[in-house]
Structure 1
Amino acid sequence: MVNEREIEIFFEDLKEGQSYDLGNYHVSREEILEFATKYDPQPFHLSEEGGKASQFGGLIASGWHATSIFMKLYVDGFLCRTSSQGSQGADLLRWKRPIHPGDILTGNFTIIECSKFRGDIGVARGKAELFNQDKKLVMSFIGNGMFKRRNPTS
């Protein structure tokens, strides 16, 4: 749990149009296999042969793995500095391109809309995106994060 004194960003600090670079993540073959074995054991996530027999032509990461990678970048690159109070969920999840072993992914989060939810909480709706090393979009969704207000009475 984040200590109040460590919080840098409250709901009032979030503005429509703000964009946050969340850093990079290197995807390894071993990680793809481990995630798929445990959570999404489809043939194209489990082996090169299974991938070659599919439309993807080789081993690829699960879309759920991509979403989890984004969450790791989002927490480390943004949420850990905020007054996050969880999320109301995500909308419009899209897996646009396959992720291959060795890909380097970059995360970005852009605030679309801010609204008060209740006295002490506000909601920031934002576009979550992952790009590969060629700057091609591989995954996106709209997230609805809840953030504690610095001044809940105002």
Structure 2
Amino acid sequence: MSEKVRYFEDVADDERLETGSYLVTEAEILDFASQYDPQPFHIDPEAAARGPFGRLAASGWHTLGIMMHLMVTHREGGMPGLASPGFEDLEWRRPVFAGDRLRVVSEVAEKRPSRTKPIGIVKFATRVLNQDDQAVLEIVTIGRYRRRASTGTGAEAGG
């Protein structure tokens, strides 16, 4: 993982991130859900067998955590260095089960300089895929990047 800070100008319009994979285990499904999402289909294998997924499924919030882990540990060239303002359009498409191998594909969807601050905003269309290349999660993630040549307002860069 790189600690280099990336600037808005470093993000290519056609940038694409594809991560390595992550194997989901039953132990971590149970551990995460026991602490943060203790619904029966996440924490009780017997109840889960009678539930909507037919077996124990990972919490969607757990899947988001795995996505973040993969994105941070596989991004080359550094991270934005500024806290994200949030995300848009979160959709859990399919359940995640123990034994699933997840990976992330993320592509620049929109890139614009701030009109009032020395930063740029980049939106990424991000998908978490399972071992069958089926999307289990889709989300628009948002990164805030410092501008390289800025006097503080962002206006001089077309903002």
Describe the SS at the equivalent of 2:47.
helix
Where in structure 1 do 4 or more consecutive aligned residues deviate above 6 Å? none
**Contact 1:84–1:145 (CA<8 Å) still a contact in 2?**
no
Aligned to 2:154: none
- 2:32 and 2:64 map into 1 onto residues whose CA distance is 12
RMSD between aligned residues:
1.8
Larger radius of gyration: 2
Q: Does 1:42 align with 2:39?
A: yes
What is the CA–CA distance in structure 1 between the aligned matches of 2:104 and 2:124, rounded to whole Å?
A: 13
**Cα distance change, pair 79–92 in 1 and its aligned pair in 2 (3 A):** farther
SS in 2 for 1:135: coil
Instruction: Letter of the 1:52 partner, please give it.
Output: A
Select 2:100's aligned residue among 90, 98, 103: 103
Moved more, 117-126 or 95-104: 117-126
CA gap of 1:79–1:68, structure 2 versus 1, over 3 A, is farther
Cα distance in 2, alignment partners of residues 63 and 101 from structure 1: 13
C-alpha displacement of 1:75 = 1.3
Candidates 110, 121, 124, aligned match of 2:122: 124
CA shift at 1:76, angstroms? 1.2
Shift of 1:55: 1.7
Is residue 29 of structure 1 aligned with residue 29 of structure 2? no
Task: Tell me the TM-score normalized by structure 1.
Answer: 0.90
Decide which of 131, 134, 146 is 1:133's aligned counterpart.
131
The answer as to 2:39 corresponding to 1:57 is: no
User: Normalising to structure 2: TM-score of the pair?
Assistant: 0.87
Larger proportion of strand: 1
After alignment, is 49-58 or 117-126 more displaced? 117-126
Size of the aligned set, in residue pairs, is 150
Given the superposition, is the C-alpha separation of residues 72 and 140 from structure 1 closer, same or farther in structure 2, using an over 3 Å criterion? same
1:71 and 2:73 correspond = no
Alignment identity in percent? 34
What amino acid is the match of 2:49?
K
Note the C-alpha offset of 1:53.
1.1
Structure 2 CA distance for partners of 1:79 and 1:149, relative to 1, 3 Å? farther
CA separation in 2, counterparts of 1:149 and 1:50? 51
Instruction: Give the deviation of 1:80 after TM superposition.
Output: 7.5
Unaligned runs of 5+ in 2: 152-156
Offset of residue 78 of structure 1: 1.9
CA distance in 2, matches of 1:79, 1:123: 19
> Residues of 2 paired with 1:52 and 1:80: CA distance?
44
